[in-house]
């Protein structure tokens, strides 16, 4: 052991290289910059200069605060403390706004079908953010209770299917569409139930299959929506879909991009916000719409 001129302790690691606390590095650098040329040439204060290994280890330590290493496809990524907090916050902040938004649609309703659509959509939207927040909180704070965390995770994944179905319901119920409309109104909920059953029995077993299930359920009803006689709102629907699609890239980037899952949450929130705006403006604010037979 040796003491530097500041009274801080330095010690020798493997290979005999000098190591110091990186938090002292800036102060040490300042002192070194004020050493005389003669002192530098004599190398009188070797403890003041961190080695390349010191700097590399500190950079790795800083990186691990914001992102852990990527894991194999058959294992779950373990977020850092900062990532856990971000995962919770990025959906928790939308719970109350989604409840308010659903209530606004309900009070703007002009008939029972508008009210039913508002209840379905508001429940799906709020349920998505609520279950996501509960799961990520459980994964952060009670991950040692493996069974409890797993149940929250299943609920989180099931909520996505019902959210997709709820997002399409106002368009399928309140717009004049093609002949497939009537069937798609109930078929989309059958798809949500099938997807949820898959999650219940095969949770985390076939991750790619689960992802394809979400994509398929999001894409198939869109083909029916495109048959709308009134095209108002199509651009917003497409734009929201783009945000969801781009966000999937971050959903699959844990361990490659810091806070990847939290970024995915933000893309979901933006996509949901755009779709809410379209529903509010074109289906509720505009008043009664031409409707197909119930």
Binding residues for Zn(2+): 136, 261, 265
Q: Which two tokens mark 224?
A: 């029916």
Q: Which residues are annotated as a binding site?
A: 136, 261, 265
Sign, CA dihedral 231-236-242-244, equals negative
Euclidean distance between CA atoms 78 and 68, whole angstroms: 7
Nearest alpha-carbon partner for 280 in 292, 291, 268, 272: 272
Q: Are 268 and 292 in contact (CB under 8 A)?
A: no
Nearest alpha-carbon partner for 266 in 288, 251, 278, 254: 251
Burial class (CB in 10 A: 0-12, 13-18, 19+), 132: buried
**Kind and range of the H or E element at 11?**
strand 9-12
Euclidean distance between CA atoms 5 and 257, whole angstroms: 41
**Kind and range of the H or E element at 250?**
helix 234-251
Instruction: Please compute, for residue 2, the number of CA atoms within 13 A of its CA located in the half-sphere on the CB side.
Output: 14
What is the DSSP secondary structure assignment for residue 94, as one 8-state letter?
T
What is the DSSP secondary structure assignment for residue 16, as one 8-state letter?
G
């Amino acid at each position: 052991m040796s003491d530097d001129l500041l009274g801080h302790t330095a010690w020798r690691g493997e290979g005999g290289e000098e190591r110091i606390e990186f938090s002292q590095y800036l102060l040490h650098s300042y002192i070194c910059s004020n050493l005389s040329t003669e002192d530098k040439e004599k190398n009188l204060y070797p403890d003041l200069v961190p080695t390349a290994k010191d700097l590399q280890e500190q950079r790795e330590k800083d990186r691990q605060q914001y992102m852990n290493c990527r894991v194999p496809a058959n294992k779950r990524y373990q977020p850092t403390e900062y990532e856990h907090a971000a995962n919770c916050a990025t959906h928790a902040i939308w719970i109350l706004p989604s409840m308010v938004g659903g209530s606004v649609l309900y009070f703007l309703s002009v008939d029972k079908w508008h009210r039913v659509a508002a209840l379905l959509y508001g429940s799906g939207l709020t349920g998505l953010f609520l279950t996501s927040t509960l799961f990520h909180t459980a994964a952060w704070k009670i991950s040692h209770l493996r069974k409890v965390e797993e149940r929250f995770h299943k609920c989180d994944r099931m909520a996505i299917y019902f959210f997709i179905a709820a997002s399409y319901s106002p368009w399928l119920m309140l717009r004049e569409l093609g002949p497939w409309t009537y069937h798609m109104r109930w078929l989309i909920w059958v798809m949500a139930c099938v997807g949820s059953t898959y999650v219940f029995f095969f949770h985390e077993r076939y991750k790619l299959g689960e992802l394809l299930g979400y994509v398929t359920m999001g894409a198939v009803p869109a083909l029916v929506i495109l048959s709308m006689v009134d095209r108002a709102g199509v651009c917003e629907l497409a734009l929201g879909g783009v945000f969801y699609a781009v966000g999937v890239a971050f959903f699959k980037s844990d361990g490659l991009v810091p806070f990847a899952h939290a970024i995915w949450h933000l893309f979901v929130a933006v996509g949901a916000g755009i779709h809410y705006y379209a529903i509010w403006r074109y289906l509720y604010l505009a008043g009664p719409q031409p409707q197909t037979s119930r």
